[in-house]
Amino acid sequence: MKRLDEYIIQKETKCTLNHYDENGKLCSIVVEEEEVYEVNESPLTVIKKSIQYYGGSLNGAILSAKEALGNISMPPVMISGSKGIYWFPSKSIAHEDCAWFSVDHIKDYEPIEDRMLRLSFYTGPSVTIDSTYYRFDKKVNRAHKFKNIMERRAHGKRSLPAHLHEAI
């Protein structure tokens, strides 16, 4: 496994999982199509830096998702709208063991024991996470819905809210 100091999420990135290095520092395991990296940053830092790299902020991404989906907890985020990269957290981002997933790479998921899921991707290895099927399924569906809303907006297939018509 290659070791990197930092990492920017690309279209082929599947997930970032929490990992503690030999010194007990919270790091990430980043899974791509063909590669797996150990990154010397937490999953949340990878997410924040990636959103900033593409021109946004995590707070802005969260506000955008809540505007589109309602005031939900643990919303998905748009890493890059122009590249169509949308991710979602496995649990509250306040938890160190929060993992992040690309909605486009998940093929299937199945419970393997109480509160454990095996996720399979369209290519490469599967991963196991701590979550119930119901909670994870809800997050996947929200992420797909958010991506659909944002892509429709980007392609002009949504009318403006009434209060914006008045301002024009």
Residue extents of the structural domains in the chain: 2-105+133-167
Mean of the pLDDT values across residues 135-157?
93
Paired tokens of 161: 């809210």
- 9, 17, 66, 75, 107 from 121: Cα distances, Å: 17, 14, 27, 21, 5
pTM above 0.75, yes or no: yes
113 — phi, psi (to 5°)? -160, 180
Average pLDDT over every residue of 124-130: 91
d(CA 2, CA 34): 12
% of the chain residues with pLDDT over 70:
93
**In whole angstroms, what is the distance from residue 109 CA to residue 113 CA?**
12
